[in-house]
Structure 1
Amino acid sequence: MKVYLLRHGQTEYNVDKRYQGTRDIPLSEKGRAALRRADIEPDTVYVSPLCRAVDTARVLFPAARLVPVHDLREMCFGIFEGRNYVEMERDPDYLAWVGDDCMGRCPGGERGLNFPTGPARPLRPWWTKRWRGARKCSSSWRTAAPRWR
C-alpha cells in the first residue's frame, strides 16, 4: 500500500506569507490554475475539511470519493491567523512563540509542541483500519508528512 500526503494549492495567504491556520481560505486563481489531474486514481481521498484542501483534491482526483477528516486541518494559530511575520515582528506574543521554536501555545490557538501528536494520535487506529487492502490518498497541509513518519 502506498500513502500520499499532499499539500493544498496556493492561496492568497500563501503569497502574502500569512498564517492561515483554521481560517477557511480558498485557493487563489493562480493556485487553482496551477493544479492538474494527478496521474494516480485513488478510490478514496481523506482530506481536511478546509476548502483549500477539498478544492485541491477535487482537481487532482476528480473521480475519488472525498472524506473530510477534521483532524487533518491545519493547526490553529489563534491571534496570529491572518497576519504575517512582518506585521508581528514587534509583537511580544509572537516573538515569545518564535523564540520557543514555535512549540508553545499560540495565544487563542493550539500549542505547537502538541500539534504533531495531538490531532494525529487518535487518527492512527482510524487510518490503519481503513487502509487495509485499499488504494487511498490524503490531502492536507504541508506538515502532514512528518506527522505520519
Structure 2
Amino acid sequence: MRDSPTIYFIRHGETDWNRDRRYQGQRDIPLNDTGHAQARRNGRALRAFLPDIANARFIASPLRRTRETMEIIRAELDLPTDGYRTDTDLMELSYGQWEGTLQDDLAAYDPEGLAARQADPFRWRPEGGESYADLSARVERWAGTVTEDVVVVSHGGVSRCLRGHLLALDPLGIPDLESPQDRVLILSNATMHWL
C-alpha cells in the first residue's frame, strides 16, 4: 500500500482580531507582530524538521493573513516569497453576520443564534455564513486533490475539518479541536503530530 502524501498544515499567525477574540471568518485582516513571530517560528521549525521541504508544493488560502504567513515561512526557508498558489477551498469558515463581533458580545448580539450553535455546533449556520458541515465538504473536496506532499497555510476551521476528514473523527467534536498558531500540524497516513 502506497503512503499518502504528507500535509504540513500551518494556521496563519495571530491578528489583532484573534487577540481580541473577534470573529474574523472571511474578513481580510492582517497579521500583528505576534503573528509575524509565529510565522517565523513555524518556518524555522519546518526547515529544521525537513531540510528538503522545498520539494513540496505550497498552497495558501487567498486571505491576507494566510498569504503573509506563507511569505514569511518561505523567506525562512530561503525560498522566493511568491512561489506558492492560493485556493479558495482553503478559506476560513464564513461567520456571516457574526463577522466583526467579539465572542464576549454574542450573548447580547444574537442570543438565539448562540443557543442554536451551542445545541449543534457542527451543523449550525449563522445568517449569511457557513456551518462546519459546509466547511467540511469544501475541505474534503480540496483534500481529494492532494497527490503530493504539500505545505498549507490556512485557518483554524480548515485545520479542524481537515483533521476530521483525514483522521475519521466524530463530526460533533470537530468544532472543539485545538488549532494553535505557533505549531505545524503534520498529517500523513491517518496520523497526526505537532511540530
How many pairs are equivalent?
143
Q: Quote the residue 1:109 is aligned against.
A: 129
Runs of at least 5 residues in structure 2 that lack an aligned partner in the other structure: 167-195
Q: Would the alpha carbon gap of residues 57 and 147 (structure 1) be closer, same or farther in structure 2, given more than 3 Å must change? A: farther
- Name the SS of the counterpart of 2:132 in structure 1: coil
Q: Could you tell me how far 1:66 is from its partner in structure 2?
A: 1.2
Select 1:56's aligned residue among 55, 64, 69. 69
Q: Quote the residue 1:75 is aligned against.
A: 93
CA RMSD of aligned residues (A): 1.9
Q: Which of 64-73 and 47-56 deviates more?
A: 64-73
Q: Deviations over 1:104-124 (max 9, x none)?
A: 1111101222222x2123223
Aligned-pair identity in percent equals 27
Select 1:4's aligned residue among 1, 8, 32. 8
- Name the SS of the counterpart of 2:151 in structure 1: strand
Q: Deviations over 1:80-120 (max 9, x none)?
A: 1111221111322233223322521111101222222x212
| Higher helix proportion (structure 1 or 2) | 2
Q: Could you tell me how far 1:147 is from its partner in structure 2?
A: 4.6
Task: Please report the TM-score for the alignment, with normalisation by the length of structure 1.
Answer: 0.84
Runs of at least 5 residues in structure 1 that lack an aligned partner in the other structure: none
Tell me, yes or no, if the aligned pair for 1:19 and 1:77 is still in contact at 8 Å: yes
- Which portions of structure 1, spanning 4 or more consecutive aligned residues, are displaced by more than 6 angstroms? none
Q: Could you tell me how far 1:148 is from its partner in structure 2?
A: 4.8
Does residue 21 in structure 1 map to residue 25 in structure 2?
yes
